[in-house]
Amino acid sequence: MTEPIRLSKRMSELGLSSRREADEWIAKGWVRVDGKVVSELGSKVLPHQKITVERQAAAEQSKRVTVLINKPVGFVSGQAEDGYKPAVTLIKPENRWLEDDADEQFHPTQLRSLVPAGRLDIDSVGLLVLTQDGRIAKQLIGENTDIEKEYLVRVQYTRPGKLPDADLKKLNHGLWMDGKPLLPAKVRWQNDDQLSFTLKEGRKRQIRRMCDMVGLKVVGLKRVRIGRVKLGDLPQGQWRYLRPDEQF
């Protein structure tokens, strides 16, 4: 016997919406189960039941924007803390990249519920995604995400000689953090003092801590790619819209 599950959870599993969006749509009468409108929050469905949404829901979803920003040092990803400004404060017309060719027009309402899909440390720079779209947030930071994130990391070796190959192998696989093994990573030298890290997880200050374990000191860290979306030539402190043809 298959257990019934919450309609909003099932909609999220099917990729129709985020759970919060689903609850909004259910309350507005925009969701049908097997052709019948379901407007009671907390309603449950069986996995085989057919869920459809009204056109208004799709139209509302398509208005939700996703913004890419090249975050400078000194800005936090999310809420303001310790006197530091959040990256969202950079999203204003004068900071929009002149080469952004998206048709989207900036409007202050886009700043409402624009949340970071992932974090980037205050002393790191590079690609940060802010989105109003729950589906994108789930794709990038949901518990089952396997989206790659690529970083360029400038380092100094704090021990005599140079980093042994065995320690480079450890950075790729074999380190533990907070009592758990890290997922395999792709770490390789770009040049004498710069490594490329490609990760599928993002524990707090993970790259800096990994480097510390093998005697490397991080002197600069820049995120250059999330999934298939690259930072490219976007200047530091500027932003652009995610284009309709781009997918993480």
What SS3 string covers the chain? CCCCEEHHHHHHHCCCCCHHHHHHHHHCCCEEECCEECCCCCCEECCCCCEEECHHHHHHHHCCCEEEEEECCCEECCCCECCEEEHHHHCCHHHECCCCCCCCCCCHHHHCCCEECCCCCCCCEEEEEEECCHHHHHHHHCCCCCCCEEEEEEEEECCCCCCCHHHHHHHHCCCEECCEECCCCEEEEEECCEEEEEECCCCCCHHHHHHHHCCEEEEEEEEEEECCEECCCCCCCCEEECCCCCCC
Catalytic residue check, 121: yes
Which listed residue (34, 100, 121, 123) is catalytic? Answer: 121
Active-site annotation, residues:
121
